[in-house]
Amino acid sequence: MLFRRIPFEEWGLKSVPSLKKKDQEAVLSSAEKGTGEGQGTETAEKVEVMYPRLYQSLCNTPLLETIKSLAEGRRDLHRSRRNWSLIAMPLTTPFALLPVIPNLPFFYVTFRAWSHHRALSGIQHINHLVEHSLLRPTPSPTLDSLYTLGLLHPTRSSARQNSLPDATNEQSEAMARDVKGQIESGPGKQEVMLLHGWNGKLIAERLELPGLEVEIERAVEQVEKSIKTDKEEVNRDQLITDMKAQNNTPQPSNAMHIAEGKEAGQVRDRGPLYDNARPGK
């Protein structure tokens, strides 16, 4: 249960292997032989980044910028939490004196320190790849098809059908246009889920990456919860705003009601006089 609360971004960064010193030295050596910016890295092996082109085009941020911001945005966070976890480790040692009960707090903070350190290693590797232009974005029609299948069959029962036919390019383009319409349907940009939890099974099987299923399920669960929380906060803020506006609406004072009542009474008192003064009476 505690593992599912760890942000999916952290799990993703941890999955990036640590940068080997020999690989770093090879890139730097190649760069020194180049005479201009970007030269000298052509001989270095580039890392292919597959992405769904039709759905990535819906984002305002280019793919490489997204990868860079993910790494840069979480570097200080993981460094700070790693250091705090290291500080907390000695503080949990007294729990080891308790009989029978294992020192769970110590094991947990130790794991969190290691986890944040692994995420920092992944960030270092990503920054190295970005700085030396060693990432090669590659549009993947397969991912476009898998994303489209998930949107066309948004049920878990469909995931059990291993013989689902691939979506055609026309279906993918039509679905991407539909998603774009949903995003732009209301005031501002609307959040639209492109994946469901069960899509992890389908994507992992087609790409032959078994570990990817759990990663996708975890990410979808956390994003869905975040979107739900954001919507609840927006609705709550709107309700508070409406209540304040209602309370600030001018209301007739008691003095006005009294004055209106007196005036009405005077009119009623004068009624018989006017009746008696009418002609024919």
pLDDT of residue 3 exceeding 70: yes
pLDDT of residue 125 exceeding 60: yes
The dihedral of CA 65, 49, 214, 114: what is its sign? negative
pLDDT attached to residue 35: 46
pLDDT of residue 214 exceeding 80: yes
pLDDT attached to residue 279: 45
pLDDT of residue 203 exceeding 50: yes
Percent of the chain with pLDDT over 90: 22
Region for 208 from its dihedrals, namely left if φ exceeds 0, alpha if ψ lies in -120 to 50, beta otherwise: left
pLDDT attached to residue 277: 43
Average pLDDT, the chain: 79
Paired residues of 48 in beta bridges: 136
Does the model's pTM come out above 0.75?
no
